[in-house]
Amino acid sequence: MAEAAEMADEAALRRLVRARLHAAVPEELQVLAAAARGRHGNAAGVRAVLAYGSTLRDASFAETLADLYVLTADFAAVGRNVLARLGCRLVPPNVHYLAHEHEGTVLRAKYAVLPLAQFARKVQADVDNPYFWARFAQPCRLVWQADEAAARAVEDVIVDAVFTALTTAAILRSEPQPDWRGLWQTLLRATYRTELRVESGNRADVIIAADEEWFRETVRAVFGAEEGIVLPAWLEEMRGNLRWRRVVVQGKMLSVLRLLKAAFTFSGGADYLAFKIERHTGERIVLADWQRRHPVVAGLMMLPRLLRKGVVK
């Protein structure tokens, strides 16, 4: 992160981050976090588990997947084989599907895993690709932490992610004195274009409306105002250094690489695709054992159905 003096009120941002991180989470998220930790060594290998996305806003656990990040102590806890660890080093994070029965209900999650130290590096202001910092500049929850040091480390990461996201948004925003809403709309819409994802035109507005206090107060903390924001001189100097078209192209290339890597590292891929089909179409898919053993082949066989049903585009 840039020097703290360049932020209008870092203490205010830290208070806001801390309050969101430690806000109460549903029992379902705690159960899923514990199940995910169990795959990576529990407290011996995992430093923290974060939750983000729609399950913190309005989606029910019966209708969607929870989104979790499992932050490990090192690469050894990322995966049991060399290929998984190498994949995370080169194109983080590794992604897994988790289905866990709890009190007669099957809870599901898609969780990413990477070392906490690597996560911290990926949200710094000199990292062009927004894959990490755009996600975690939004509200998230610390579902579990190994100790107080881990909690403080995660807090630092979120503060850095917000700073990187908002300074990037300010550079991309065209008017000379933007307001808080315009900055976040610009940031979300611009970063969607760097990935292989289809979002509705009002997606940014929906996310902002779900926690306006967070989005407004983060801007106040970074820039000292909500409206008529006068950008500092050091930020204006950064404007000429950002080549967003290049960022978009690089981001899409990284998305393709992550998809290719997932063919070898995404455990539970066939079950994940079956759940997606059922969720979007109501059509139940019964998987054979061989499909679970060969998720790439199963995925290719399911692809025509996914395209026909509009599950993927």
pLDDT digits (tens, 9 = 90+) for 38-91: 999 888 899 999 999 888 876 677 777 899 999 999 999 998 889 889 999 999
Least confident of 73-82, 171-180, 217-226, 263-272: 263-272
Tell me the per-residue pLDDT of 10-42, one tens digit each, with 9 for 90 and over: 999 999 999 999 999 999 999 999 999 999 988
Report how far residue 269's alpha carbon sits from residue 95's, in angstroms, rounded to the nearest whole number. 9
Provide the residue count of the chain: 313
Query: What is the model's pLDDT at position 274?
Result: 60
Give 234's pLDDT tier (boundaries 50, 70, 90).
Answer: confident
Q: Token pair for residue 167?
A: 């300074």
* Burial (Cβ within 10 Å: 0-12, 13-18, ≥19) of residue 295: buried
The more confident residue out of 269 and 170 is 170
Least confident of 192-196, 242-246, 256-260: 256-260
Buried residues in 183-219 as b, exposed as e (16+ CB within 10 A): bbbbbbbbbbebbeeeeeeeebeebbeeeeebbbbbb
Query: What is the model's pLDDT at position 308?
Result: 67
Q: Measured at the alpha carbon of residue 208, what is the angle toward residues 172 and 198, in degrees to the nearest 5?
A: 70
Query: What is the model's pLDDT at position 268?
Result: 62
The more confident residue out of 106 and 147 is 147
For residues 203-227, average pLDDT: 95
Within a 10 A sphere around the Cβ of 243, how many other Cβ atoms?
Answer: 11
The more confident residue out of 211 and 242 is 211
Among 5-9, 22-26, 153-157, 168-172, top mean pLDDT goes to 153-157
Query: What is the model's pLDDT at position 81?
Result: 87
For residues 121-147, average pLDDT: 95
- 252 has a pLDDT exceeding 50: yes
Report how far residue 192's alpha carbon sits from residue 43's, in angstroms, rounded to the nearest whole number. 34
